[in-house]
Amino acid sequence: MAESRPRGEEEQLEDIEVGLLLEGVFRYYGADFRDYAPASLRRRIRESMQREGVETVSGLQAKLLHDPACLERFLHTLSINVTAMFRDPSFYLAFRTKVVPLLRTYPFVRVWHAGCSTGEEVYSMAILLQEEGLYPRCRIYATDMNPVVLRKAREGIFPLAAMQEYTGNYMKAGGRGFFSDYYTAQYEHVIFKPSLRENLVFSEHNLVTDGSFNEFHVILCRNVMIYFNKTLQRRVHNLIYDSLVMFGVFGVGNKESLRFTPREAHYDELDAENRLYRKVR
């Protein structure tokens, strides 16, 4: 068995190559992934290498810098995360019971869904707010850095095959009606009702480089910051804090928390289990 050597030369060389690739992509295209979490970034770089038919990270770098179409594919690989409607139903149930009563006290509610990907969770929130009678006075700003996923989100078309799972999630999330009332099925896809889209605003926003663009009563950023390293997470936590009204609500994924973040002391737990927090100072 090999003597314990912490990391081999090959891995160290690859570290250097990854650093150079990210630096190159940033300096040439302005797309900044330098503070992404290294492990999943490396997975996706390998995935891209395989797809592009190159043997080394440096080979991928050369292709990325000389072929904008290759960059497009790379950006897509980096931004696709697989989610579901009413992912973690108990989160939505907690939102209904603990957040909705707070929102009723506002004449107008602005929600920011940061990193909305293809929109499954945005439509989930629209349905919830509609059932609670709040949707007419809400506006949901759904943002992502990738225009391709935003286009999909805007269309609101999802595979029919997923609806069985989503229906189950919807019921566990405290749904009050029939899930199938919210969409129309055609062939292998469903399209969600236009009335759900009325108060949705989709736009490009990059958490790495862009700043605050409004003040919100609710900010959801679930399973987005897990792709960032701690430096970038700190930046985004500050950005979110600055974008939230006093007593505004902040929701993260169920394996994320505000522990060890710079703003931890500025929030109270609204629902610890479901990772809902309230800005209190």
Partner 1 sequence: MSGERVVVVGTSTGGLAAMQVLLPALAEDFPWPVVLLQHRSKEPGSELCKYLRRYCRRNVSEPEDKEPIMAGGVYLAPRDYHLLVERGHFALSTEAPVYFARPSIDVLFESAADAYGAGVVGVVLTGANGDGARGLARIKAAGGVAVVQDPSTARAPEMPRAAIEAANVDRVLPLPEIAPFLNGLGREAAR
Residues engaged in binding partner 1 (CB under 8 A) = 1-8, 10-11, 37-40, 42-44, 80-83, 87-90, 223, 225-227, 230, 233, 253, 255-257, 259-260
4 C-beta neighbours (distance < 10 Å), count: 5
Pull the structure tokens for residue 139: 């506006």
Task: Give Cβ neighbours of residue 231 (< 8 Å, ≥ 6 apart).
Answer: 35
Nearest distance in Å: CB 233, partner 1: 7
User: Which element (helix H / strand E) includes 51?
Assistant: helix 38-52
Measured between alpha carbons, how far is residue 140 from residues 102, 119, 242 in Å? 16, 11, 18
Nearest distance in Å: CB 186, partner 1: 25
214 vs 231 by CB, closer to partner 1 = 231
Q: Catalogue the long-range contacts made by 23-27 (C-beta closer than 8 Å, 24 or more residues apart).
A: 24/61, 24/64, 24/65, 25/61, 25/64, 25/65, 25/71, 25/74
185 vs 272 by CB, closer to partner 1 = 272
Side chain identity, residue 9: E
Q: How many CA atoms lie within 13 A of 79 on its CB side?
A: 28
Nearest distance in Å: CB 3, partner 1: 8
134 vs 226 by CB, closer to partner 1 = 226
Nearest distance in Å: CB 39, partner 1: 4
User: Which element (helix H / strand E) includes 165?
Assistant: helix 163-172
37 vs 157 by CB, closer to partner 1 = 37
197 vs 237 by CB, closer to partner 1 = 237
Nearest distance in Å: CB 32, partner 1: 19
64 vs 225 by CB, closer to partner 1 = 225
Nearest distance in Å: CB 12, partner 1: 9
